[in-house]
Amino acid sequence: MGNYNYEQQNLRKGKNMKPAKQVLLSAIFIAALASVAQAQARRQAPDTAVVSLRTQMQALTSQVAALQNELEAANRRLTEAVEKPSAAEEKASVLGDQLAGMDERLLTAESDVAGLKKLKVSGYIQARFEHLDYENLADNATTTTNSLTKSASTSITGSQGQSVFYIRRGRVKFTYTPGAMSEYVIYFDASKDKVSLKEAYVKLKEPWTGYGANLTVGQMNWPFGIEVERSSSVRELPERSLVVRTLFPGERDRGAKLSVADIMLGPAALGLDLGVFNGWGLDDKTFTWQDPTKQKDVIVRGTIDMGFLGLCASFYDGQYYEPRSVTKTCQTNTTTGAITEVTVGSTKPDKRYFKGRIGGGLQTYQQLLPFGGTALLSEYIMGKEKGKPVAGWYAMLSQNAGSKLNLALRVDAYDPFASDDTTEYVEFGGTTDSRKYDQTITVGGAVNYWWDSAVRLTLAYDHIKKDRDMTGNIRPATRDVKDDKLTAQVQIRF
């Protein structure tokens, strides 16, 4: 029974194992088929990793192509940028051009400024008020001659106690110095009712000897004495002394001058001037631009400068020509009405006179007082004027009081006939008595105040002593006539 059961169980197991084998075999077969199918599939379909690499390569290729396109575009932009500047570069280029233009203008301006530095403009204006205390009306008389009728008439243009405002001097001076060897000057004056040329000359300087030699040609001051060349802008009193105004009217003439300034003699410096001039000056109405004499006037001056003291000696040799004088008038025929010109009085022939001057002067400046410097100027001049011996002198004392105030006192005298030879005097229309009383003596004083560095105020008074009556004749041994002058002046200098 037991075995039966065991066998029975085995039999049932045998029956049951056939289908399992079949299933197993089927499974193995199916698995084999699947393997073959997978192998076949692997032979027919690509690998996933290869596909992924190919995809990445394609992406990279696309990126490289894109980058290549961008690089080509950048190269095109760079080429265009080289060929055509950007707006900033164009602006920079424009600014560069403007700067270059500014540089050119700056160089031109620097050249102009350098030229202007060689040109110096200076001058001064003197606005003046004068009160003229006339007693003698003839002192202010004017004689005129009618050019048609040849008749002369005298008129009084002023009155006793005449007062007047006017411009005494309005000067502008241009000095151009292109280098160390030359200088050019032109100098104008606009005063009263006219404009005139005061100076115009060329100065050539030599740099070789060390003596400061120079040659000046043109219109300039006469190189005589001290006061002739002393500028009106620095003079303490309003006008020059009478002797200088009489013998050197206008102070200037046309000619040439050779000067040497730096010849050292120990502690002193010697200066020499040699001038050749027409001799008529600027104020002569007859021969302003001409010289009827072949002989030229010669001036020689020597100066010694010792620092504290300066000495001067001058010599003048020339000739004066007086043309033939004819006095005529017109007469009317009462019958016919015809007008004829006839000679009245005697006819004066032309004359030539020796014109000479000799002068000596000194000037010194010392610090004598604790509040300011003291200056002394003095000069004496004598010579011949139209055949007559003449002489004159002046002495001036100037005292500064601080940096603003100056006081000046000057005495000057002029003798139109400085000779004791009465017979010679009579030849010129004088008398023995009148010779003793023909001098003019002027005592003048001035107060100068510097308003600032450019403006100076001056108040001056001149007491003039000359013995004359109202007809202009010499009146000896009588009181002095009233002819004093008060001057108030404002001067600006630049």
pLDDT of residue 17: 45
pLDDT of residue 109: 67
Domains annotated for the chain, with CATH where assigned, are 123-320+354-493 (2.40.160.10)
pLDDT of residue 159: 47
- pLDDT tens sequence for the chain (494 residues): 444 444 444 444 444 444 545 545 555 555 555 554 555 545 444 456 556 767 777 777 777 677 777 777 777 776 766 555 556 666 666 677 767 766 676 777 666 666 678 899 999 999 999 998 765 545 445 555 544 444 445 454 544 457 889 999 999 999 999 988 999 999 999 988 889 999 999 999 988 887 889 999 999 999 999 999 999 999 999 999 999 999 999 999 999 999 998 788 888 999 999 999 999 998 887 787 788 888 899 999 999 999 889 999 999 999 988 877 666 667 677 777 676 766 665 566 778 888 999 999 999 999 889 999 999 999 999 999 888 889 999 999 999 999 999 999 999 999 888 876 666 655 666 566 666 667 889 999 999 999 999 999 999 999 988 755 444 454 544 556 677 899 999 999 99
pLDDT of residue 83: 59
pLDDT of residue 8: 45
pLDDT of residue 301: 98
Q: Is 171 exposed, middle or buried (0-12, 13-18, 19+ CB in 10 A)?
A: buried
pLDDT of residue 414: 94
pLDDT of residue 135: 57
CA distances from 255 to 5, 201, 218, 252, 322 (A): 178, 9, 6, 10, 21
The Cα–Cα gap between 94 and 92 comes to 5
pLDDT of residue 130: 93
